[in-house]
């Protein structure tokens, strides 16, 4: 039991350390969070983005129900991110930019519904 605790602790510390140190393009990586019209009605989001040198590509909710991103743009003066996918439009500001666990917070439109969203980089 004690050995297991030590091993888990080491693994956790290692993960924490590595997570803190991810650099590179600010959008590259896996982001997790949710969106919804109210605090009581939320829908989970996983978003994976990658920078190939010319464009940011990616998917929402990777797996059988994945939705490909059609366009991602950033205003680097204000750190405002615009994300488009089929039936989805989101716009938000990047926060805590220097952290590997940076966030994007803003508004999300899907179908006829609108709400807010918050994504945190893993």
Partner 1 sequence: MKRLVIGALIAAGAVVQAQLPVPALYDEWRRVTLDGVVTRVAWANPRAYVFVDVRESGGTASAGTVANWAIEIGNPLDLEQRGWSRTTVRIGDSVSVEAVPARDSSKRALMSAFWTTRPRARVFSGSPRASASESKGPAPRWPDGQVRLGPPAGRKGYWGAPSLSTMSESGSKVSVRADGLLTNLSDADRVAPFQPWAKAVYLQRQRTLLKDDPAARCLPTGGPRQFHTPNGFQFVEQRDLGRILVLFGGGNRNWRIIYTDGRPLGQAAEAVPSYYGSSVGRWEKDTLVVESVGYNERFWMTNGGLPHTEALRLLERFSRPDLNTLRYEVTVDDPRTYTRPWRSEWTVRWVPDREIEEFFCEENAESTFIR
Cα–Cα dist 72/90, whole Å:
10
The answer to the question of residue 55 lying near partner 1 (CB under 8 A) is no
Q: Which is nearer to partner 1, 24 or 63 (CB)?
A: 24
The answer to the question of residue 24 lying near partner 1 (CB under 8 A) is yes
- Choose, by CB under 8 A, the member of 76, 86, 111, 112 that binds partner 1: 76
Candidates 41, 58, 57; CA nearest to 110 is 41
The answer to the question of residue 20 lying near partner 1 (CB under 8 A) is yes
Strands of 1-122 (E only): list them. Answer: 29-36, 43-51, 56-60, 67-75, 80-85, 88-95, 103-110, 113-121
Cα–Cα dist 27/80, whole Å:
12
- Choose, by CB under 8 A, the member of 3, 4, 5, 23 that binds partner 1: 23
Task: Report the interface residues with partner 1, using CB under 8 A.
Answer: 18, 20-26, 28, 51-53, 74, 76-77, 79, 97-99
């Amino acid at each position: 039991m004690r050995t297991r605790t030590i091993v888990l602790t080491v693994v956790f510390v290692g993960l924490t350390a590595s997570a803190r140190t991810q650099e590179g393009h600010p959008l590259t990586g896996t982001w997790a969070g949710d969106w919804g019209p109210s605090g009581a009605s939320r829908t989970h989001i996983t978003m994976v983005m990658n920078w190939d040198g010319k464009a940011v590509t990616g998917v929402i909710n990777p797996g059988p129900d994945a939705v490909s991103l059609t366009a991602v743009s950033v205003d680097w003066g204000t750190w405002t991110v615009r994300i488009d996918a089929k039936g989805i439009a989101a716009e938000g500001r990047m926060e805590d930019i220097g952290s590997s666990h940076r966030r994007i917070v803003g508004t999300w439109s899907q179908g006829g519904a609108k709400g807010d969203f918050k994504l945190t980089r893993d």
